Amino acid sequence: MIGCHWLGFLFLPLLYLSGTAAFDESLLKKCAQSGFCHRNREYAKNISETGGSYYSIERGSVRYDDDRHTVTADILKRIPRSEGGDKIVVLPFTLDLLNGSQVRFTIDEKREVDDFSDMLTTYRYNETSTWCLVDPDHLGVKHSDSLRIKNPSFWNKDYISIYDVQTDLRVVLQLAHFSLKVYRHENLQVTINDRSFLNVEHLRSKDEQEQNLVPEEVKFDSFYDSFAYASTDSLPFGPESVALDITFHNYQNVYGIPEHPDHLKLRDTSGGEPYRMFNADVFEYTVNSVMPTYGSIPFMVSNRPGSSVGVFWMNSADTWIDIKYGELDTGTHWISETGIVDVILFFEDSPLKVTESFTNLSGRPALPPLSSIGYHQCRWNYNDATDVLTVNSEMDKAQMPYDFIWLDLEYTDNKKYFTWKPDAFPNPLSLLSKLAQFGRNMVVLIDPHLKVNYEISDHYEEAGSTIKNKHGDSFHGQCWPGESVWIDTFSSKAQKLWAGFFQTFIEGAKNLFIWNDMNEPSVFDGPETTAPKDLIHYGNFEHRSVHNLYGRTFHEATYKALIERYVHEDKRAFVLTRSFFAGSQRTAASWTGDNAANWDYLKISIPMILSSNIAGMPFIGADVGGFSGDPQTELLVRWYQTGIWYPFFRGHAHIETKRREPYLLPEPAKSIVRESLKLRYALLPTLYTAFHDANVSGIPIMNPMFYVKPNLEDVYSIDDQFYVGQHGILVKPITTKNVTKTTIYFPPGKYYNYHNFDAFTLSSGDYVSVKAELDEIPIFLEGGHIITRRDRFRRSSKLMANDPFTLVVAPDIDGYAQGTLYYDDGETFAYQRGEYLKVEFTFKDFKISGKVIHMSSKFANLSIERIVIPKLSSLNIKETINVEQNNKKWMSSVKNAENSYVIQNTQINLGYPWTIQL
Ligand code: NOJ
């Protein structure tokens, strides 16, 4: 089977055989086919023409809570009527200033009628923020003492102004024609409802529809869905979308809102489709498009020299976003099918700070097991235990390091999760322990759909913990096992049951981890390849309100189950999820889903991964080689050369493709890929340090150029080159066929070719042509950094645990460089109890030195064996050099290479300060 969805099944094989990778887009709605998207776009167009405004704050309702610094008020929606006076709808509003530099506001609806449905709660779903925020009640938020609220006599004036003296942030709330303006350093940054697109489709019955519309509204698909695959949607609450516009003043770019197969800098959507966030199974999604894919993080960033803003739209329903670049400003229009308006705005000096603040609220990415940032070898499917062990030994024979081997769907007994196909995997524990001998791990797939009529699904149905249909019965649909039910992980009972199954499934295992696939959820016979929106979740709310969140609840249940299962070993868990939402970074890694073996998908993988990185979800990759289709050798080589930079690095292939494990490649491709894999492993210390940085401050692992050079406007649209962590490694992988050279944009500074230490200096940023033969990845070290490597070849990361490190020093034009190394046991949570090593290296005045920031005795024996330093004009190193540590001095030999010196056999102990004067 080629396609991952029922409706598309008939179309995809043809496309696949003709070699054209493409998703059948007719399966997904366009904005004009989506009732609420179409209605809001029309509303926006009409209101721009009429200049109407139906939303104002009632002065008498305004309250200011001194303790919490929260403003509450009622926004009144006033619908003019020819008879009986205006209809007034009350929309409770709140406004908070968080941590001095974030502004949160919410708009809800007071719903008086509660007889719309027996099955559902009437209130608008308002708990997305509870999932999104680590501290939803802001108990840990700093409410600054320096807040001043101007205009306490609200009733006299048209606005309220709140000012934070410390951060110089001013929020002005306009009452008569509702709007919110935020100034930083007296500079207007953002306006909410600048263009009057605020639209809350309040509750009404079908019979009352006519009296409830303002003149600019249209009625399209308010109470039924005319889209062919969604016509059974009962839309019990009728139209209930929320929408508003957010204008970024003097900003000419927006980024983020993953996941879309598009450029990093988001496009102007006027005259085209808006970006859509709606988690869906989109086999061979269309590259360079705004279509939704498997995950959504409704977080957007905008940047200009010296100042950056962010928007977090905390709504988990189907959402569309229009973008319009003006001459000075950027206008955005956010449209969600249901739920409330719940938005946090961020104001900082740089985009890095915005992401940092965003993850401070939404959660930092987990520090994963060190092994999981090694290479993952996956395929749909490795057929049996012998197959697995053969791949394992072939990788060894080819001297190709790897850490994880994966079992896709077919390892199960008839697609029943928590079982193993008896003939193929008669003794999973013995297989796992054989892999463990090489320091290796295994991942198996467990999806949220459960085949009907077997122990696990019976349990769930009996416990009432499956997702329900609109009649309140267990929902049945089609997925891999045929007829299936879906676990409702919004229920804590369902989560507990899940954890219980894991206890027995992997009893005795030490190196087994889990892949959660198809959790958008994918429903083969469902509308738009997913679950009907009128399904009902625990808590009596519709799937419509939480669609984009569902996948996260599922992978979190798996994460918790694994943590519980491995509690005695104190082990960190590794979970891969296909579907994600804001907050997923706390527990899971992800990948960009079903791409195909062609150059377009390789190219687009970079901006896709960068977008997720800036949205706080850095542990992400793309299927190396392309999931469907058979990559030609050149493409596979280039994909490995790109994949080694993905934070999550996995080769994967569709069941109908030819085998393509890297050891099967012909020479010289095989050797080239081997070198790439070795490079990834050599750089694990630097990468792991970047993962640690992400864990403590949420910053990206793979960085867009503008995240490192936020004041350099030349780099704002670059998305085919990137920096690794904050370590000065600048890479531009080759993603085009038949290429032997490329041009790279270098910001001003000094650079070293990573491979040969050829150095050059640029006083202003410029494009430079560089060689890129098939065996070359353009990698440069930016002057100012010291990176850490481990150069000894081992079969897996675990076997590197005691290896010494190599330092590579790349001085800037002033002869200065600095770097950090973080290290821990890579497996347990002991690092949270202080068992880790953090060391800082500096190169200044021709002296290299190491300073210990934190040291746990466990790592006392780790050492530096080698230091590489480029030849600087005023540097002349002899054949030996003095190393000083702990009041001792000894000589190390120096190798005089072409462009560098290599100080060898240094025997420096990482746990104590040291110096080498050159
Ligand atoms: C869809 C996933 O995207 C793909 O990676 C996997 O191989 C198949 N499901 C089968 O489980």
pLDDT tens per residue across span 166-207:
899 999 999 999 999 999 999 999 999 999 999 999 999 999
Residues having CB closer than 6 A to ligand 1 are: 4, 380, 408-409, 445, 517, 578, 593-594, 627, 652
Q: Which residues touch 212 (CB under 8 Å, ≥6 apart)? A: 79, 87, 202, 204
pLDDT for 15: 33
What local confidence, expressed as pLDDT, does residue 142 receive? 66
CA 445 to ligand 1: nearest atom: 11
Distance 302 CA to ligand 1 centre (A): 34
Laid out side by side, the sheet with 722-724 consists of: 702-704, 722-724, 729-731, 779-782, 749-753, 759-762
Q: Give the end of a domain, one of 300, 332, 362.
A: 362
Most informative mutation of 4, 383, 449 for ligand 1 (most atoms within 8 A of CB): 4
How many A from CA of 589 to the centre of ligand 1? 15
Distance 654 CA to ligand 1 centre (A): 7
Pocket test for ligand 1, best of 380, 410, 601 (most atoms within 8 A of CB): 380
From the list 51, 75, 52, the residue with the least C-alpha distance to 62 is 75
Residue type, 107: I
* Nearest atom, ligand 1, residue 409 CA: 11
Whether the CB-CB separation of 214 and 54 falls below 8 Å is answered with: yes
User: Is residue 90 in some structural domain?
Assistant: yes
Question: Could you tell me if residue 467 is inside a domain?
Answer: no
Write the DSSP assignment of 484-539 as a string of letters.
Answer: EEEB-TTSHHHHHHHHHHHHHHTTT-SSEEEEE-STTTB-TTSGGGB--TT-EETT
- Distance, CA 596 to ligand 1 centroid (Å)? 12
Find the catalytic residue in 281, 284, 322, 517. 517
**Domain containing residue 312:** 25-362
- What CATH number is given to the structural domain containing 138? 2.60.40.1760
Give nearest CA residue, ligand 1 atom 10: 409
Paired residues of 449 in beta bridges: 486
3-state secondary structure 462-475: HCCCECECCCCCEC
Q: Residues 594, 719, 720, 824: which is the catalytic one? A: 594
**Distance of CA 419 from the midpoint of ligand 1 (Å):** 18
142: in domain: yes
CA 777 to ligand 1 center in whole angstroms? 29
d(CA 760, CA 746): 10
Give residue 599 CA to ligand 1 midpoint distance, Å.
Answer: 20
In a domain, 652, yes or no: no
Q: How far is CA 199 from CA 37, 38, 545, 702, in A?
A: 12, 13, 17, 37
Annotated catalytic residue, options 201, 245, 520, 720: 520
- Residue owning the nearest CA to atom 11 of ligand 1: 409
pLDDT of residue 19: 45
Helix (H) or strand (E) holding 360: helix 351-362
**CATH no. for residue 798?**
2.60.40.1180
Q: How far apart are the first and last CA of the chain?
A: 63
* Atom number of ligand 1 nearest to Cα 447: 11
Q: Which residue, judged by its Cα, is nearest atom 7 of ligand 1?
A: 380
| 342 has catalytic annotation | no
Q: Which two tokens stand for residue 81?
A: 């009527």
Looking from the CA of residue 578, the nearest atom of ligand 1 is: 3
Ligand 1 mean position, distance from CA 619 (Å)? 19
Record the tokens describing residue 195, joined without a space: 């263009």
Which atom, in ligand 1's list, is nearest to the CA of 654? 7
* 623 catalytic per annotation: no
CA of 517 to the centre of ligand 1 (A): 7
Beta bridge partners of 817: 843
Tell whether 448 is covered by a domain.
Answer: no
Distance 208 CA to ligand 1 centre (A): 46
Number of H helices, E strands in the chain: 14, 50
What is the rounded CA–CA span in Å between residue 195 and residue 247? 8
Residues of the chain with pLDDT under 50: 1-19
Query: Does residue 84 belong to any structural domain of this protein?
Result: yes
Best CA proximity match to 881, nearest among 872, 889, 873: 889
Q: Which atom of ligand 1 is nearest to the CA of 378?
A: 7
Does residue 58 form part of some domain? yes
289-293: long-range pairs with CB below 8 Å, 24+: 289/260, 289/261, 289/262, 290/260, 290/262, 291/23, 291/25, 291/28, 291/260, 291/261, 292/28, 292/259, 292/260, 293/259, 293/260, 293/261, 293/592, 293/593
Q: How many residues does the chain have?
A: 918
Work out whether the CA dihedral 268, 269, 272, 276 comes out positive or negative: positive
Q: Of 382, 627, 650, which is best to mutate to test ligand 1, by the most ligand atoms within 8 angstroms of its C-beta?
A: 627
Q: What is the pLDDT of residue 148?
A: 67
Please give, one letter per residue, the 3-state secondary structure of 849-876: EEEEEECCHHHCCCEEEEEEEECCCCCC
Answer with the one of 362, 391, 416 that is the final residue of a domain: 362
Q: Is residue 390 part of a domain?
A: no
Query: Rounded to whole angstroms, how far apart are CA atoms 876 and 873?
Result: 8
Mutate to test the pocket of ligand 1, among 381, 517, 657 (most ligand atoms within 8 A of CB): 517
Annotation marks residue 233 as catalytic: no
Question: What does residue 420 show for φ and ψ, rounded to 5 degrees?
Answer: -120, 140
CA 724 to ligand 1 center in whole angstroms:
28
Pocket perturbation via mutation, ligand 1, pick of 12, 285, 408 by most ligand atoms within 8 A of CB: 408
Which residue is associated with the tokens 């120096």?
Answer: 894
Report the 3 state secondary structure along 105-155.
EEECCCCCCCCCCCCCCCCCCCCHHHHHCCCCCCCCCCCCCCEEEECCCHH
How many domains does the chain fold into? 2
Q: How many angstroms separate the CA atoms of 190 and 24, rounded? A: 38
Spell out the SS3 assignment of 563-587.
Answer: HHHCCCCCECCCEEECCCCCCHHHC
Residue 202 in tokens:
């309040």
